[in-house]
Amino acid sequence: MPFNLIFALSVGYGLSSPKYAAVKKFSWICLLIPLGYLAVYKTAFLTEKGKAFHTFKKHKGGLNYYILPWMNNNTGILEFTIDKKTAPEPVEWMTTIAREYIELMKTKGYTEDELRKL
């Protein structure tokens, strides 16, 4: 279950306690928090800045990675490093550490396909 849905349920449950009797009947609105993320995501794609940001961060998953809390099918740093992809921003510090980790895991018998799944 995505973190933000759990957070929304927790906030709604807290607001439904007797301490907050005035807002108790509106506590169900917290379930709309995930819809807020989706609305921001859709709105960002309508702007030029949003499209440019998505293109610039495409190596990481673009707006899907940064806005959508469920983050499906995003490229991880191990997969990024194994595929020798390049980014439009400096990520050398991350890929250096990932290369060291990949080499360490290969000495323990992991294959590149297994490392991609990590």
88: Cβ–Cβ under 8 A, 6 or more apart, which residues? Answer: 56, 59
What confidence tens digit (pLDDT) does each residue in 5-18 have?
777 777 777 777 77
The amino acid sitting at 86 is T
DSSP 19: G
Helix (H) or strand (E) holding 10: helix 3-15
Q: What percent of the chain has pLDDT over 70?
A: 89
What confidence tens digit (pLDDT) does each residue in 67-99 have?
875 656 667 788 888 888 887 788 888 889 999
> How confident is the model at residue 107, as a pLDDT?
92
* Cα 21 from chain centre: 35
> How confident is the model at residue 70, as a pLDDT?
61
Two tokens at 86? Answer: 């390049």
Contact present, 78 and 118 (Cβ < 8 Å): yes
Mean pLDDT confidence for 26-35: 76
- Average pLDDT over the chain, rounded to an integer: 81
DSSP 17: S
